[in-house]
Amino acid sequence: MRNLTDTMVETATIRINSLTKDFRNRKGMVRHALDSVEFAVKRGMTTAVIGESGAGKSTLIRCVAGLEKPTRGSVAINGRQVAPPRHGNTSPVQMVFQNPADALNPVRSVGWSISEPLRKLRRRERRVRVAELMASVGIDPARRKDRPRAFSGGQLQRIVIARALASSPEVLLCDEPTSALDVSVQAQIVNLLLELQEEHLFACIVVTHDLAVARALADDVIVLRHGKMLFSGPLDVVIEDSQELDPYVRQLVRSSQQMEIKKVAREQLA
């Protein structure tokens, strides 16, 4: 596992230090969901987190977002410890969820949902800002009064991204941002995230099981298994030199590559 360099730590937007999260079952037995996870992400850069189900990916995301309190270790953004989100306060961390329909209030307009983090602005300023955000993700601002059911899955994910960017976050967390979408839409969302990161320079952590998504979005990759980091470093090393790595990492790469081949085959048959 690659160690953090002094330069990386000093310039990092987000730094995860010896992060450990334990859960205790009814019998009092302790399960280590995360065990001394440590990495950093610089401004304008993306780290992908990959691993099988139960590896600790979701727990990691929740700890970074302040939704879970670490048992030990810390999460800091620009030197400030991450705190649980509070109603009415703007968090420096925002999330893009796997299923966009579940992330939006079904009885409210999408404009209302996007404007939630903007409550401190005057009504006219909110309306202008919502229109800007919708346009920035490729959604017609004239549809701001429509409810979520009027949009496709890909459009809903764009709306969720717009809401996440409303508070100008320093860190964007993406939990399987394309897995619930059709293959034809996945590339559009990936390209949108790349364009928005280039414009806003937020640090990004992407949880994904899809190596193709990780390859398109990420600069570095974290491989988790049973809460432990098996690898932390450049994505190219995982892909090109997987034979030199842990057997589990090699198997993960092979499985992801097989999924990628099947996806290409489906696209060609479509």
Please write the tens of the pLDDT for every residue from 171-211. Answer: 999 999 998 888 889 999 999 999 999 999 999 999 988 87
pLDDT at position 230, please? 87
Chain center to CA of 246? 25
Assess if residue 27 is contained within a domain. yes
Assess if residue 151 is contained within a domain. no
Cβ(145)–Cβ(154) under 8 Å? no
In this structure, the number of other CB atoms found within 10 A of the CB of residue 163 comes to 25
In the chain, which ranges are continuous DSSP H helix? 6-11, 57-64, 110-115, 123-136, 153-165, 183-200, 211-217, 235-240, 247-269
Assess if residue 84 is contained within a domain. yes
Assess if residue 110 is contained within a domain. no
pTM here is 0.85
pLDDT, tens only, 6-18: 444 445 689 999 9
Assess if residue 190 is contained within a domain. no
Assess if residue 265 is contained within a domain. yes
Which single residue is written with the structure tokens 């764009």? 158
Range of the domain at 27: 1-90+206-270
Number of domains in the chain: 1
Residue 259: pLDDT over 50? no
